[in-house]
Amino acid sequence: MVDTRNQEIEILNATIAQHVATIDTCNANIAQLQKTLNTLTAQCASLQAQCDDLTQRLQNRIVEIEGLNHDKALLDQRIAALTQENQGLKADKVGLETTLQTKNATIDDLGINLNNSNLDR
């Protein structure tokens, strides 16, 4: 009976030793997982900060683009006004040239020669 009792105690001690080893392994795994979690948390915070920075820079670029679009619209309007003004000036020039040609023709029709030396008389 004592032998049986000793055998049972030895079996229980061996089982306890196995459980202690398993718990030690689990504790080591938990410690490693905690380190990994801390690293991932730090990386996540870094990525969030980078994302926030990129979001802010994107917003700044959007504001710049909107300003450029506004400036472009103003420039387009100015170009359109200048183009119309230029076309008006061309029309005036053509009108003046036509008027001058008509006057020259009238002078020619009258037989007046401005370079004629008879004008000196």
Predicted structure pTM score:
0.51
Q: Would you say residue 40 lies in a domain? A: yes
Determine the structural domain holding residue 6 and report its residue range.
Answer: 2-109
Q: What is the pLDDT of residue 22?
A: 97
Residue 119 one-letter amino acid: L
Q: What is the mean pLDDT of the chain?
A: 85
Q: Would you say residue 119 lies in a domain? A: no
Does residue 23 carry a pLDDT above 60? yes
Question: Among residues of the chain, what percentage have pLDDT more than 90?
Answer: 64
Is residue 17 within 8 A of residue 25, CB to CB? The reply is no
Q: Would you say residue 82 lies in a domain? A: yes
Residue 103 one-letter amino acid: K
Q: Would you say residue 62 lies in a domain? A: yes
The number of domains in the chain is 1
Q: Would you say residue 116 lies in a domain? A: no
Q: Would you say residue 81 lies in a domain? A: yes
Return the residue matching tokens 């049986």.
Answer: 4
The alpha carbon of residue 30 and the mean position of all alpha carbons in its chain are separated, in whole angstroms, by 44
